[in-house]
């Protein structure tokens, strides 16, 4: 579509818009007409952009496939005999048909995206995927959904079955509208009230303790909130959907922004909390990660999604000390960037800032 759009826009700007704009310095009345000419062009370009398949998204292929694809494209446009040029076609195939690797059946992967101060994770099994929280809103124009989550989902070629929004705070749902718009098939599971703006975009179900499902041999179980928690009109943090993901050998626990009271309830209620990997509740706030909760979960690895020099001081030093006392390895997004954990290699967390480190990158002290 870019070829057609440029074929129209370049002559229009060159031959109509620019001369009229310059003549406008002598005849200011022409500027009205110039503005209209820009308006007509924008309308045509918008129409072209909205056509189905105007933009084709393919998963991000490795460098070699990209290089081979560029060679193929070059061959096709060079003035060579057609027998030679046609060799370019098969060279395009790796980059066009590339599929991102998926976890094996019975295994799962948790990717905590680099969204700053907020939660935004992608959980994938062999044939299924979910987003758990969609990251924060950055400003009135920008949020982690269209800046981070949607590009990530596109790069991985991921089609979501479900979007889980732990609770209504904007550091968890700021990017949700963008993710839901890109993933029209995804179901919504959340603790949002029925009248919430996002429920209008995608009517969803409420998270309720006891809900469970199985994807490719991996079990998902909601541990919190209970029906009476909704009735009690608790603060949003206290309603955070808490999700346990397990394949029987390895378990991950995603706890949103639950605080000490909910942690105590979960421990007292005998919820199956023990996990290999814990998404540190409430970004490492002092209100959460109580001793009893950490002893019950007893993870070996913990992920903190927090912003670099965030104003809340997350993760708090006393909280980090509780993890250190228990020999729990803590990874945080300012140092680690995007964090990937795989159940097949359960004692490792892959830090994107380390694997993709370049000499010009800032080293977070």
Residue closer to Zn ion (CB basis): 217 or 236: 236
Cβ(352)–Cβ(340) below 8 Å: yes
Of 196, 269, 286, 191, the closest CA to residue 232 belongs to 191
Confirm or reject binding of residue 171 to Zn ion (CB under 5 A). yes
Residues 137-166 interacting with Zn ion (rule: CB under 5 A): none
Compute how many residues bind Zn ion; rule: CB under 5 A: 2
109, two tokens: 């992967």
Among the residue ranges 31-39, 144-152, 251-259, 306-314, the one whose residues contact Zn ion (CB under 5 A): 251-259
Contacts of 111 (CB under 8 A, 6+ apart): 121, 122, 123, 124, 152, 338, 339, 340, 341
Of 274, 322, 265, the closest CA to residue 296 belongs to 274
For residue 181, CA distances in Å to 42, 146, 355 come to: 23, 10, 31
- The H or E element that residue 200 is part of is helix 197-201
Q: Convert residues 52-91 into a mask of x (bound to Zn ion by CB under 5 A) and - (unbound).
A: ----------------------------------------
Residue closer to Zn ion (CB basis): 20 or 112: 112
Q: In the Cβ-directed half-sphere of 261, how many Cα atoms lie within 13 Å?
A: 8
Confirm or reject binding of residue 259 to Zn ion (CB under 5 A). no
Among 257, 259, 263, 332, binds Zn ion (CB under 5 A): 257
Instruction: Tell me how far, at minimum, the Cβ of 207 lies from Zn ion, in Å.
Output: 16
Residue closer to Zn ion (CB basis): 107 or 171: 171
Instruction: Tell me how far, at minimum, the Cβ of 260 lies from Zn ion, in Å.
Output: 15
Instruction: Tell me how far, at minimum, the Cβ of 29 lies from Zn ion, in Å.
Output: 55
Confirm or reject binding of residue 133 to Zn ion (CB under 5 A). no
Residues 320-359 interacting with Zn ion (rule: CB under 5 A): none
| 59 CB burial (10 A radius; 0-12, 13-18, 19+) | middle
Residue closer to Zn ion (CB basis): 114 or 171: 171
Residue closer to Zn ion (CB basis): 143 or 171: 171
The C-alpha atoms of residue 260 and residue 301 are separated, in whole angstroms, by: 20
Instruction: Tell me how far, at minimum, the Cβ of 203 lies from Zn ion, in Å.
Output: 24
Residue closer to Zn ion (CB basis): 72 or 284: 284
Residue closer to Zn ion (CB basis): 61 or 255: 255
Instruction: Tell me how far, at minimum, the Cβ of 347 lies from Zn ion, in Å.
Output: 27
Among the residue ranges 43-51, 93-101, 250-258, 334-342, the one whose residues contact Zn ion (CB under 5 A): 250-258
Length of the chain measured in residues:
365
Residues 194-213 interacting with Zn ion (rule: CB under 5 A): none
Residue closer to Zn ion (CB basis): 107 or 114: 114
- The H or E element that residue 252 is part of is strand 251-254
Contacts of 65 (CB under 8 A, 6+ apart): 94, 95, 98
Phi, psi torsion values for 191, nearest 5 degrees:
-105, 20
Sites of contact with Zn ion (CB under 5 A): 171, 257
């Amino acid at each position: 579509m870019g070829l057609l759009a440029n074929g129209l826009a370049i002559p229009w700007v060159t031959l109509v818009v620019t001369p009229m704009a310059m003549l406008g310095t002598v005849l200011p009345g022409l500027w009205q007409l110039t503005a209209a000419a820009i308006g007509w062009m924008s309308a045509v370009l918008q129409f072209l952009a909205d056509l189905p398949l105007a933009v084709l998204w393919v998963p991000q292929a490795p460098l070699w496939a990209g290089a081979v694809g560029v060679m193929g494209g070059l061959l096709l446009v060079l003035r060579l005999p057609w027998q030679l040029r046609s060799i370019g076609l098969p060279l395009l195939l790796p980059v066009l048909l590339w599929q991102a690797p998926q976890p094996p059946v019975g295994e799962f992967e948790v990717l905590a995206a680099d969204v700053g101060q907020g939660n935004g994770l992608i959980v994938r099994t062999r044939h299924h995927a979910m987003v758990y929280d969609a990251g924060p809103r950055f400003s009135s124009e920008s949020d982690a959904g269209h800046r981070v989550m949607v590009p990530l989902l596109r790069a991985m070629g991921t089609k979501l079955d479900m979007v889980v929004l732990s609770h209504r705070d904007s550091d968890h749902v700021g990017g949700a509208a963008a993710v839901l718009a890109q993933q029209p098939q995804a179901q919504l599971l959340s603790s949002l009230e029925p009248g919430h703006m996002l429920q209008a975009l995608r009517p969803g179900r409420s998270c309720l303790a006891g809900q469970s499902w199985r994807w490719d041999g991996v079990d998902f179980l909601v541990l919190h909130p209970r029906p009476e928690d909704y009735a009690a009109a608790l603060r949003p943090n206290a309603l955070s959907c808490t999700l346990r993901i397990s394949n029987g050998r390895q378990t991950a626990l995603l706890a949103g922004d639950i605080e000490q009271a909910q942690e105590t309830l979960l421990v007292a209620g005998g919820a199956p909390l023990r996990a290999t990997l814990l998404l540190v509740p409430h970004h490492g706030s002092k209100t959460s990660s109580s001793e009893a909760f950490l002893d019950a979960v007893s993870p070996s690895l913990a992920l903190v999604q927090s912003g670099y020099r965030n104003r809340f001081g997350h993760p708090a030093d006393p909280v980090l000390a509780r993890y250190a006392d228990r020999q729990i390895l803590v990874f945080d997004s300012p140092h680690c960037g995007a964090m990937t954990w795989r159940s097949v290699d359960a004692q490792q967390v892959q830090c994107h800032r380390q694997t993709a480190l370049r000499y010009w990158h800032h080293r977070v002290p």
